[in-house]
Amino acid sequence: MVLEDYPRVDLAHTPTPVERMERLEQALGSGKGHLYVKRDDCTGLAMGGNKARQLEYYVGEAVAQGADTIIITGAVQSNFVRTAAAAARKCGMEIEIQLEERVPNVSDAYRNSGNVLLNRIYGATLHSFPVGEDESAADKNLYKIADDVRARGGKPYVVPLGADHAPLGALGYVRMCEELLKQFQDMGKTLDAVVVCSGSAITHAGTLVGLRHYGSMANVYGSCVRRSVDLQAPRVLQRSKETADMIDCAHVITEEDVIVLDDYLHPGYGQVNEGTVEAMKLSARLEALITDPVYTGKGMAALIDLYRKGQFASGDNVVFVHSGGGPAIFGYPEVFDGF
């Protein structure tokens, strides 16, 4: 199959802009490459973010199957489930959300503000799941919820979490790469490197496959937000190969294409370190970019560290894919004490 063969609904505001981050370059010491940001925080749906591109394919398949209810799982402050709630409502569907306990010692704000508040505004039915690090168990419970929906006469569509399901959402980032490469072509520039957040690996895999599919050999650096390198690298490779298989270009991906970094992960998912806080400050105060403690703050920390270490050549054009996540900051007021 080719990309156009997969059912898709329009949810995201695209193309999203590409902006030069000159003030950040100057602050970090110019001459180590040109920094850009792909503004996928501006995809529009439910305050934006990368999940809108992914959901175009999940919801597209749901519509094609005649579903009337979307069922999805994620952390309490998950951007994915918040965007899924909006996508479901936009397409006239019900939405059932399972919230997993992934982050220890959280505040009342974490449980009630940010994405959780938006889920409630969209009228989502919320389910609590006590386990945070068992994707198989989380998915298994989704299908129990789906059985309940069927028992009530509904037609559910499950968006699974685990890596044992086809990475349909990655097609959204294959498509993004065509858009991104055209933007650089229109600027008369070559894309040399991309930095993304690497969690489920769907965005990472889609970006890697998309670049190779459209002829770019730009390196893709994935900043781990949930797992260490030894766990994340095989996952990215698996999801990339699966994505490439879906569009009949399996030959474009090799193990050497997979670059993941976990220097910015500590102390774990949804928890911050000094590098993340610094990255959030610099991106906000120099480029007016809001990054979050869970994903994009750690992705920006990776970009900044790689730049400082001279990973990029002086003429390289480097893009940070800003995957959104802004609403999550309201669940972390303690991060900004003394900010």
Q: Are strands 34-38 and 18-20 parallel, antiparallel or unpaired?
A: antiparallel
Tokens 């994707």, located at residue:
135
Out of 30, 78, 107, 128, the active site residue is: 78
Tokens 């920094």, located at residue:
35
Q: Is 247 exposed, middle or buried (0-12, 13-18, 19+ CB in 10 A)?
A: buried
Q: Please tell me what DSSP assigns to residue 262.
A: -
Q: CA 103, CA 82: separation in Å to the nearest integer? A: 17
Q: Look up residue 178 and give its amino acid.
A: E
| Crossing angle for the helix pair 202-213 and 229-246, to the nearest 10 degrees | 50
Q: Are strands 69-75 and 317-321 parallel, antiparallel or unpaired?
A: unpaired
Residue among 142, 71, 130 nearest 101 (CA): 130
78 included as an active-site residue: yes
The catalytic residue positions are 78
